[in-house]
Amino acid sequence: MLSSFTWVVLVQSLTLLQLDPAHSAPPLGAVVHVVPIETNGGKTVRAHFMVAAANPCPDLTGVCAEGEEDCKVHPTTTPFTGTKPGPGWCIRRWQKTIPSNYSATFELGSKVTWDVFIRTEATVRANTTKLNRPPYVALPPPLRATAGCPHRINLSLLDLDKDPVRCRFARADQGECHGCTQHSFIELNEEKCMLSFSGEASAGQYSVMLMVEDLLPQSKLSSNEDPKPLSSIPVYLSLTVEEASSSGCSAEPVATGQSPLRDTRLIILPYEQVNLTATFTSELESVVEIGVVGPPELFMSGLMTTETMSTKEVTWVCAPNTLPPILPICFSANTNSSQSEPRCIWIHQRETMTLPPGTS
């Protein structure tokens, strides 16, 4: 039998294990885009996973089992990296075919752990006779705020079936997250999918685990009971709250008219090129970087700064790919002490040359 002393040591080391950030850390952000596979009635889906992780960038060894069919790791993180919040971040992505109800814990490198819980019960839409398509959530560059300074973040969502979409906090009692905590200083507007940070938190990194769900339009009207969603998709966000500066809350950078409007949808044809300009102005403090998260093979210019404006050019060519038909691009500007609202646009690959599962 173990002595009580041994127990104390055991419990203490377990507690340390959990708190030690070098051991295992949540991602700085994570989303999954789910595409139902029509040919088997939606029993399986192709899932495109995307994770923002703190540096050093984790490798994805082990994400695909050996010989696993239709499992593919995107080899490079470029150009999706940034320096803020410190010590900087990178984007990692992979795709695989999974059952429509799925839960798993991904261990990336030895550092990042992400619990995934997906429920996309195959529902055939009455009017289209096609499978329901789960909503898409755009992953913003890692989120920053300053202690004492209220901040709001709108998530960008898109549902191809035009269903109403809502966000809610993930629930531990439903198995959707492990050890998830809600923070009193982060509020969620479920209908608008908007997060409000009250400012009343000390410096640190705070996790926000959400489920995004699409509902049948009519289920919104009979609002007495909680409507059953068509699908539930996990979203992991992390808000890094930085020390208040002596100068108080600084004005956030603002996107100018040259930048595409929020949630612009661009329909593009095979081999067409998308050209975007992300431009921000910032009073007082200059922009030090514009963080971008988008599809593989995106090309970005360096940061071009004039006295009043900071600009980044972004282009993407629609070459044959195995990516989802809908691809978000999000960007936000960082100054040393603040961050702009993230802004996202959506590329719709029109005549998709998306290759069927299993091909490469």
Binding stretches for ligand NAG (CB under 6 A):
101, 119, 121, 127-128, 152, 154, 162, 192, 194, 217, 273, 275, 286, 288, 336, 341
Nearer to ligand NAG, 18 or 128 (CB): 128
Q: For residue 72, give the H/E element and its range.
A: strand 71-73
Q: Smallest distance from the beta carbon of 290 to ligand NAG, in angstroms? A: 13
Q: Smallest distance from the beta carbon of 2 to ligand NAG, in angstroms?
A: 40
Closest CA to 54 of 92, 88, 78: 88
Minimum distance of ligand NAG from residue 286's CB (angstroms): 4
Query: Which SS3 state, helix, strand or coil, does residue 51 take?
Result: strand
Beta bridge partners of 347: 266, 327
Backbone φ and ψ of 316, nearest 5°: -150, 135
* Nearby residues of 233 by Cβ (< 8 Å), 6 or more positions away: 31, 32, 34, 118, 120, 134, 135, 137, 211, 212, 213
- Shortest Cβ 195–ligand NAG spacing (Å): 9
Cα distances from 132 to residues 122, 161, 176, 292, 352, in angstroms, run 7, 7, 21, 30, 18
Nearer to ligand NAG by Cβ, of 51 and 344: the residue is 344
Instruction: State residue 124 phi and psi, 5-degree precision.
Output: -85, 125
Measured from the CB of residue 75, what is the shortest distance to ligand NAG in angstroms?
26
Which CB atom, from 208 or from 288, has the smaller least distance to ligand NAG?
288
Question: Which one, 15 or 336, has the nearer CB to ligand NAG?
Answer: 336
- The nearest distance, CB 218 to ligand NAG, in angstroms, is 7
Task: Give the nearer residue to ligand NAG in terms of CB position, either 25 or 177.
Answer: 177
Q: What is the rounded distance in angstroms from the CA atom of residue 15 to the CA atom of residue 28?
A: 22
Q: How far is the CB of 127 from ligand NAG (least distance, A)?
A: 4
- Smallest gap from Cβ 1 to ligand NAG, in A, equals 42
Cβ count within 10 A of residue 7 = 10
Q: Which is nearer to ligand NAG, 78 or 189 (CB)?
A: 189
Q: Which is nearer to ligand NAG, 18 or 315 (CB)?
A: 315
Closest CA to 212 of 295, 131, 143, 156: 156
Least gap, CB of 265 to ligand NAG (angstroms): 14
CB nearer to ligand NAG: pick between 56 and 217: 217
Whole-Å CA distances, 189 to 71, 165, 171: 35, 12, 16
Asked, as a colleague might, if the bond just before 87 is cis with ω within 30 of 0, I would say: yes
Residues listed for the chain: 360
Count CA atoms within 13 Å of residue 33 on its CB side. Answer: 23
Looking at the Cβ atoms of 51 and 230, the one nearer to ligand NAG is 230
CA distance 127 to 143: 39
**Alpha carbons 308 and 302: distance in angstroms, whole number:** 17
DSSP letter for 250, please.
Answer: P
